[in-house]
C-alpha cells in the first residue's frame, strides 16, 4: 500500500472494512518516517512504541464499539501540550518539560480515537516563516531538500507533503498554517479566531494564535476541523462554531462572488505565482463563480502592525520562561538576576530574542501609544476594510504566499525579507477571519497555493468552495524525497 496517496478519510474506510488493521496502518507510517525523515527532518520525536501499543488496543476492540476515527494516525506541532510527552515549542528553553495535561485539541483527538505518532518541528515559539529558527534543526521541503518548507508549522506541512502522516495539526499566528501549506503543496486551514480552543497551546500572541489542520485534501481538513472545533470553558476566547462541520460535496461555484485583492498583486508577487493564481481565478469562473477586483487599502500596513502587536504579546507571554518554574535553568549564576539573564540568554534563539526586545520596547513607558496604540488602530482599519469587502463579495481570493519556497539560508540574514513571506496571510489573523490555502499548481516545479478567505464563522462555506476548486484543479503530483513529479 502506497501511503503517498492515502487520505485520512481513506484510512478510516480501510480500517472500517478491515482491509487493514490499525497496527498495519500505523506501521506503514512509521516505516515511511524511518525511510524519509532523515532527509525531511519534520519530526522532533516519534512515539513508535506508544502508537503501536495504542493500535494493538484498537485491533482488540470490536469494530462496532470503535470511536469515529479509531486507529487513524496523526502528528502534532510541538506547541500543543500532550500529557507525558516532552513539549518544547522548538526551543531549548523548554527542553525536558513534560506537561501534566493535554491541550483541549489533543484531548478531542484522543476522544475521537486518533493515534498520536509524534511531535513535529517548528520555528521556536512559532516565530518564523521557514522552520530555520527551530532550536533543534531545520526542516526541509520534500519537493526540494535545498529549500525551506515555510513556517512556523513547517514540520507539520512537510510531514503531510512527505506522507509521513495523513494529517497534522499546526498553529497560525500570522500565516503559520497557510504559508507552509502553500510552499509544501498541501491544504492548510486557519479557522476563525476562537473556533478552536487555545487551552494547552503554548502562547505566542494570544489575540492571534489559532490551531488548525494541515492535510492532503480539503475533505480531510473538514474532518479534522470537525473533531477539534468547539467551545471550551477553559478558554475565555473560545466560541466554537455555530454548527457542526460536514464533509464537502460541492461541485460548482454558481452564484458565489469572489474578490481578487489588488494589494497582493504587486511587485512582491513572483510572475510564476501570479500565473498560477490567474489560472485558479479562471477555474473559479469556469465553475460559475463571479470574480471582481477588491481593494483593502489598509492591508499594506498589516505587516508593520503585526510586527508590533505580535512581539508585544510575545514579550508578555514569554516572561514566564525564567528558569524558576519549568524548562531550562542555567548552571552558571551567582544570584537570582544573573540566573534569569543567563537562563533566557542560553535558552532563547536569536529570532525570539529579537521579538522580545521589540515587544518590550513598544510597550515601554513613553512609546506605548506611539507604537502599540497606533498598531491597534491600524488593526481596526484592517477589520473595517474586510467588512466593506464582504458587503460586496462572499469570499476573497489571493495567492497564499507571494513566492514559492526559497532556499535554505537565503533569508536568515534579512529578517525583513523573511517577514514579507506572510504578506498575504497576516491581515487575516489581525481580523480574526478564517482562511484556507489549497494547492493550485506549480512554478518552476515548486508548489503554489491559493488562499480563500471568508467572513467570521464561514468555515463550512470555505470548505465547500475550496473542495469545488480542488476538484477542478485536480493537482495530483506528490514529492518523492525532494524529486518533483508535477
412 lies in a domain? no
31 lies in a domain? yes
Instruction: Write the pLDDT tens digit of every residue in 228-237.
Output: 999 999 999 9
Instruction: Write the pLDDT tens digit of every residue in 241-265.
Output: 999 999 999 999 999 999 999 999 9
Q: Please choose, from the candidates 230, 167, 155, 245, the residue with its C-alpha nearest in 3D space to the C-alpha of residue 199.
A: 230
Q: What are phi and psi of 292, to 5 degrees?
A: -145, 155
- 361, 386, 405 — which closes off a domain? 361
Distance CA 401, CA 193 (A): 21
Q: Pseudo-torsion of CA 193, 198, 202, 208, nearest 10°?
A: 10
Average pLDDT of the segment spanning 199-226: 98
What is the total count of domains within the chain?
2
Do 127 and 240 share a domain, yes or no?
Answer: yes
41 lies in a domain? yes
Per-residue pLDDT band at 129 (split at 50, 70, 90): very high
Distance CA 432, CA 426 (A): 10
Distance CA 12, CA 52 (A): 17
Average pLDDT of the segment spanning 276-280: 98
153 lies in a domain? yes
The mean of the pLDDT values for the chain is: 96
262 lies in a domain? no
Distance CA 296, CA 430 (A): 13
Distance CA 34, CA 51 (A): 14
Do 181 and 38 share a domain, yes or no?
Answer: yes
Do 227 and 308 share a domain, yes or no?
Answer: no
Do 42 and 109 share a domain, yes or no?
Answer: yes
463 lies in a domain? yes
Per-residue pLDDT band at 147 (split at 50, 70, 90): very high
276 lies in a domain? no
Do 220 and 315 share a domain, yes or no?
Answer: no
Instruction: Write the pLDDT tens digit of every residue in 133-142.
Output: 999 999 999 9
End-to-end CA distance of the chain: 21
Q: Residue 447 forms beta bridges with which residues?
A: 442
113 lies in a domain? yes
Instruction: Write the pLDDT tens digit of every residue in 280-336.
Output: 999 999 999 999 999 999 999 999 999 999 999 999 999 999 999 888 999 989 999
Distance CA 104, CA 235 (A): 9
Q: CA 332 from chain center: how many Å?
A: 37
Asked whether 313 and 303 are in contact (CB, 8 A), the reply is no
Q: Could you list the residue range(s) of the whole structural domain that residue 339 is in? A: 303-361
Q: Three-state secondary structure along 274-321? A: HHHHHHHHHHHHHCCCEEEEECCHHHHHHHHHHHHHHHHHHHHHHHHC
Asked whether 463 and 215 are in contact (CB, 8 A), the reply is no
Q: Is pLDDT of 39 > 90?
A: yes
Distance CA 422, CA 437 (A): 13
- The CATH number for 192's domain is 3.90.1300.10
Stronger pLDDT, 196 or 484, i.e. the higher one: 196
- Which grid coordinates are listed for 130? 521557514
Q: Is pLDDT of 2 > 90?
A: no
Do 245 and 175 share a domain, yes or no?
Answer: yes
Q: Is pLDDT of 454 > 80?
A: yes
Q: Is pLDDT of 117 > 50?
A: yes
Q: What angle do CA 22, 23, 29 make, to 5 degrees?
A: 90
Distance CA 271, CA 52 (A): 47
Distance CA 52, CA 31 (A): 12
Distance CA 4, CA 339 (A): 48
Per-residue pLDDT band at 268 (split at 50, 70, 90): confident
Do 231 and 328 share a domain, yes or no?
Answer: no
- 361, 379, 402 — which closes off a domain? 361
Q: What is the largest CA-CA distance in the chain?
A: 70
Asked whether 372 and 96 are in contact (CB, 8 A), the reply is no
- Which grid coordinates are listed for 69? 476515527
Q: Is pLDDT of 486 > 60?
A: no
Distance CA 83, CA 386 (A): 39
Q: What are phi and psi of 128, to 5 degrees?
A: 160, 170
CA distances from 70 to 54, 165, 168 (A): 10, 15, 16
User: Which residues lie closer than 8 Å to 364 by C-beta, 6 or more apart?
Assistant: none
Do 237 and 310 share a domain, yes or no?
Answer: no
Instruction: Write the pLDDT tens digit of every residue in 42-101.
Output: 999 999 999 999 999 999 999 889 999 999 999 999 999 999 999 999 999 999 999 999
Do 17 and 133 share a domain, yes or no?
Answer: yes
- Cell numbers 506572510 correspond to 422
Do 162 and 53 share a domain, yes or no?
Answer: yes
Q: Is pLDDT of 483 > 90?
A: no
pLDDT at 482: 54
Do 235 and 311 share a domain, yes or no?
Answer: no
User: Which residues lie closer than 8 Å to 143 by C-beta, 6 or more apart?
Assistant: 161, 184, 185, 405, 445, 446, 447, 479, 482, 484
Q: Is pLDDT of 191 > 60?
A: yes
Q: Which parts of 6-147 fold into alpha helices (H)? A: 8-16, 22-40, 48-59, 104-112
Do 40 and 163 share a domain, yes or no?
Answer: yes
- 344, 361, 378 — which closes off a domain? 361
Asked if omega into 152 is within 30° of 0 (cis), the reply is yes
SS3 148: coil
Q: Is pLDDT of 484 > 50?
A: no
Q: What are phi and psi of 68, to 5 degrees?
A: -55, -45
Other beta carbons less than 10 A from residue 83's beta carbon: 15
What's 263's DSSP letter? G
Question: Which residue numbers are catalytic?
Answer: 77, 152, 176
Per-residue pLDDT band at 266 (split at 50, 70, 90): confident
Asked whether 147 and 140 are in contact (CB, 8 A), the reply is yes
Distance CA 255, CA 259 (A): 13
Amino acid at each position: 500500500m502506497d501511503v503517498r496517496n492515502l487520505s485520512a478519510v481513506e484510512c478510516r474506510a480501510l480500517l472500517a472494512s478491515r482491509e487493514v488493521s490499525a497496527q498495519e496502518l500505523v506501521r506503514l507510517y512509521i516505516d515511511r518516517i524511518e525511510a524519509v525523515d532523515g532527509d525531511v527532518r519534520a519530526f522532533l520525536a516519534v512515539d513508535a512504541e506508544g502508537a503501536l501499543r495504542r493500535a494493538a488496543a484498537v485491533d482488540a476492540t470490536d469494530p462496532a464499539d470503535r470511536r469515529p476515527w479509531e486507529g487513524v494516525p496523526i502528528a502534532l506541532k510541538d506547541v500543543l501540550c500532550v500529557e507525558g510527552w516532552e513539549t518544547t515549542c522548538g526551543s531549548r528553553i523548554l527542553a525536558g518539560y513534560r506537561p501534566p495535561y493535554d491541550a483541549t485539541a489533543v484531548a478531542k483527538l484522543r476522544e475521537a480515537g486518533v493515534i498520536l505518532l509524534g511531535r513535529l518541528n517548528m520555528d521556536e515559539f512559532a516565530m518564523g516563516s521557514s522552520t530555520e529558527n527551530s532550536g533543534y534543526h531545520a526542516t526541509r521541503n520534500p519537493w526540494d531538500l535545498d529549500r525551506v518548507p515555510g513556517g512556523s508549522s513547517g514540520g507539520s506541512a512537510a510531514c503531510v507533503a512527505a506522507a509521513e502522516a495523513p494529517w497534522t495539526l499546526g498553529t497560525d499566528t500570522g500565516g503559520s498554517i497557510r504559508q507552509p501549506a502553500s510552499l509544501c503543496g498541501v491544504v492548510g486551514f486557519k479557522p476563525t479566531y476562537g473556533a478552536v480552543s487555545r487551552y494547552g497551546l503554548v502562547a505566542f500572541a494570544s489575540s492571534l494564535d489559532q490551531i488548525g489542520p494541515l492535510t492532503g485534501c480539503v475533505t480531510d481538513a473538514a474532518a479534522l476541523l470537525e473533531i477539534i472545533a468547539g467551545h471550551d470553558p477553559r478558554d475565555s476566547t473560545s466560541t466554537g462554531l455555530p454548527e457542526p462541520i460536514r464533509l464537502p460535496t460541492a461541485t460548482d461555484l454558481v452564484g458565489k462572488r469572489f474578490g481578487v485583492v489588488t494589494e497582493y498583486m504587486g511587485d512582491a508577487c513572483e510572475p510564476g505565482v501570479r500565473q498560477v493564481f490567474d489560472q485558479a481565478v479562471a477555474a473559479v469562473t469556469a465553475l460559475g463563480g463571479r470574480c471582481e477586483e477588491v481593494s483593502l487599502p489598509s492591508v499594506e500596513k498589516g505587516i508593520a502592525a503585526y510586527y508590533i502587536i505580535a512581539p508585544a504579546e510575545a514579550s508578555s507571554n514569554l516572561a514566564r520562561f525564567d528558569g524558576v518554574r519549568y524548562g531550562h535553568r542555567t548552571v552558571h549564576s551567582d544570584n537570582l538576576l544573573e540566573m534569569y539573564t543567563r537562563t533566557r540568554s542560553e535558552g532563547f534563539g536569536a529570532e525570539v530574542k529579537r521579538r522580545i526586545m521589540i515587544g518590550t520596547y513598544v510597550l515601554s513607558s513613553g512609546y506605548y501609544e506611539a507604537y502599540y496604540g497606533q498598531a491597534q488602530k491600524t488593526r481596526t482599519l484592517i477589520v473595517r476594510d474586510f467588512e466593506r469587502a464582504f458587503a460586496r463579495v462572499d469570499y476573497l481570493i489571493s495567492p497564499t504566499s507571494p513566492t514559492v519556497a526559497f532556499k535554505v539560508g537565503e533569508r536568515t540574514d534579512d529578517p525583513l525579507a523573511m517577514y514579507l513571506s506572510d504578506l498575504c496571510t497576516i491581515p487575516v489573523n489581525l481580523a480574526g477571519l478564517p482562511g484556507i490555502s489549497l494547492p493550485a499548481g506549480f512554478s518552476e516545479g515548486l508548489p503554489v497555493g491559493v488562499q480563500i478567505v471568508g467572513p467570521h464563522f464561514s468555515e463550512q462555506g470555505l470548505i465547500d468552495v475550496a473542495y469545488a476548486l480542488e476538484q477542478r484543479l485536480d493537482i495530483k503530483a506528490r514529492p518523492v524525497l525532494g524529486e518533483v513529479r508535477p
